[in-house]
A and B are shown apart, each in its own frame.
Chain A
């Protein structure tokens, strides 16, 4: 409830692209709540999740701060948030301020008396859960922190107490709070006494007689300037205050603070000396982060594989190439592609120098062009660069392959490091770059007409899915065919999703009818949900349709008798098996999706 004397607080949601301010909350006469970008008609993709977060039953906003005349809201943000749910804490606090008497959301930094920088998941009981990418979010907020500090703003950085404290470096001049419950911030900041519109956050005295209140704790880190200089970085020692208070989410109590000595510095908590990584900004920072993920992922996987008895013979040092982006099945602007690849190579060279030999991209391109010219690529199906290079590029150990999907006016780009036997050694999480794909990538991939005389078409609702979301696919054939579908996970495991054990209980063969739309999952053919889960990255669903029942001809592990990962098979190997079926016309369709936080 805003009036002229309201205390204005700017609420920022931490994102890996920088902090995003909640500009405004308005009740709307629409059936669903929406999140819009900068007061425009552009509806952000998190709107569905926001609607769930608001509405009674599934959400907490109307329950905690309502009832309202209209139970739908429009939330305007200063920047885009395309995925994840770590916005929940910021949005919750923004609604609390909007509902509280004497408080209001600041419409600009200038009018803000205090700035909240928030990230965290809020569950149905208002527990504050930890989130990923804290270091990236902090790095992306450095400039904003400096600006806010320079203008004398009070800054409070607040996240879940369950968050790994080692992820949080010294932040001089910023109050850092680790909380168990979303309501605790309102209590700590004294906002509860003003939020009279809801009895939920009204003050209630803590009973002194039994039953004793449940003790909840929260941590406050006060980072104070210390005197330790580490290679150009002044490390601030810090004072940790641990506050214990007897408080339920409906009440507040005087805060008792206990001053603790600063914990000993360990190699993990000590800030590193000035490093190029910390000085990088924007896209450069993301590229170095991608390179770091790839290098560390490759090293980790190699070590783990050796411990399991892996006998793969690498060159010494291993030879790594970057698959040219432009050769993939999406269309990146050639200049942007070159710039991106070149920057990644230079980042890889800087981080992996001495441990790997990086082959020039042009050299790889020449090999591919030779293969295209000689038809070798066609022999491999023309689609799978790994399979295509297997025979002809034996001097390569590891290939780094990029993928991109559209994400609003930008692209989510990720990379995979794949050994030449198809083993995935590293997979990066997608990073958002302000690069537009030359044309919209289609989820539906038409079957190669050279392979079969009929077509199999699959479609997904979209290309980007968040962890926990249901994946729905549409599948259609132009004539009756026997279908086999596989899910290629980001971690390299392949699961056969059709046919499957529940299907075999009521069917004798995986025959699907032409000219009929099938939904995956569905009630009979695919009687289970496909829930997108970790790991993050690029995943693929591949379906093969054969013009005869080949179930008995396939190896036992490809007959759909189990939903466990298929042992000892790669997508290239499965492709080869289907293409090699005697006297059978086979067509294929695949969909790539990106799994994000």
Chain B
């Protein structure tokens, strides 16, 4: 008989995966969660057919960890651009993030130092789809923000320095998607 013991990391990963699968199954089978989120609606939100923002979905995503994971999984499949976590932690307080065909940089406003520009540059396909920036943190935190229609391949928004999305973007281990 083989005695196989799971390491704590694998146990945690497995629990997360099972939880995610369970939510996905629940969504697909019952079509509704307790918060009233259907699978089709969540997918529509992820792929952009349902316009951002949707307050009920955002609320549900904020409250339900498994739903967030499912949503992140969906976004990762449909996003136009993926900007992965940095390989090395940057000492730069406002790091630039590079992805295939897309770059995200942060600039401090000179007029209002507590406000930061998030600048999304589409470096290859300038008219590619870029409506929402989704940032997923290491601890399954998730924040997203609507992007204005890119002009000459650039879309920029201003956020407060202490906003959740900026905190996540500044974390080199977070992952960003542009969908």
Contact = CB atoms under 8 A, between A and B. Distances in A.
A74 B151 contact: no
Interface stretch (A25-33, A151-159, A565-573): A25-33
Contacts of B121: 31
Nearest to B149: A461
B154 to A, nearest CB: 5
Given A39-B112, A440-B51, A444-B49, A32 B160 contact: no
B110 A26 contact: yes
Contact of B49 (A24, A32, A457, A461): A457
B89 to A, nearest CB: 24
B160 A29 contact: no
B151 A48 contact: yes
A41 B115 contact: yes
Contacts of B51: 440, 442-444, 459
Nearest to B163: A41
B169 to A, nearest CB: 15
Contacts of B110: 26-29, 74
Contacts of B158: 34, 36, 41, 43
B117 interface: yes
A110 to B, nearest CB: 21
Contact of A32 (B53, B156, B159): B156
A555 B95 CA distance: 61
A64 interface: no
Interface residue range, chain A: 20 to 34
Nearest to A31: B154
Interface string A429-461: 000000000011011100000000000010101
Interface string A44-58: 000110010000000
B111 interface: yes
Contacts of A47: 148
A459 B49 CA distance: 8
B151 A41 contact: no
B49 to A, nearest CB: 7
B70 to A, nearest CB: 23
Nearest to A45: B148
Contact of B111 (A24, A31, A32, A439): A24
Interface in B85-127: 107-112, 115, 117, 119, 121
Nearest to A23: B111
Contacts of A32: 151, 154, 156
A281 B139 CA distance: 53
A28 B109 CA distance: 6
Nearest to B151: A48
A592 interface: no
B28 interface: no
A26 B121 CA distance: 23
A551 B108 CA distance: 57
A76 interface: yes
B117 A28 contact: yes
Give the interface centre of B50, B51, B154, B160 by most chain A CB atoms within 10 Å: B51
Interface string A351-378: 0000000000000000000000000000
A381 B55 CA distance: 30
A41 B111 contact: no
B22 interface: no
Interface centre among A30, A443, A444, A459 (most CB of B within 10 A): A30
A76 B151 contact: no
B21 interface: no
B151 A51 contact: yes
A30 B112 CA distance: 13
B157 interface: yes
Contacts of B151: 32, 48, 51
A409 to B, nearest CB: 14
A71 to B, nearest CB: 13
Contact of A43 (B53, B55, B111, B157): B157
Given A26-B111, A74-B111, A48 B148 contact: yes
Contacts of B108: 29
Contacts of A36: 158
A28 B151 CA distance: 17
Residue in B49, B53, B159 with the greatest tally of chain A CB atoms within 10 Å: B49
> Which of A27, A76, A444 gathers most chain B CB within 10 Å?
A444
Interface in B134-149: 148-149
Nearest to B121: A31
B50 to A, nearest CB: 8
A34 B110 CA distance: 13
Nearest to B56: A439
Nearest to A36: B158
A362 to B, nearest CB: 33
Nearest to B55: A439
B148 A43 contact: yes
Contact of A29 (B50, B53, B107, B148): B107
A534 to B, nearest CB: 23
A48 B53 CA distance: 21
Contacts of A43: 148, 157-158
9 contacts: A28-B109, A28-B117, A29-B117, A31-B154, A32-B151, A34-B156, A47-B148, A74-B111, A442-B51
Given A32-B154, A43-B157, 12 more contacts: A26-B109, A26-B110, A26-B111, A28-B117, A30-B107, A32-B151, A34-B158, A41-B160, A47-B148, A74-B110, A74-B111, A440-B53
A-B interface, 5 closest residue pairs, ranked by CB to CB distance from nearest: A26-B111, A41-B158, A30-B117, A74-B111, A41-B115
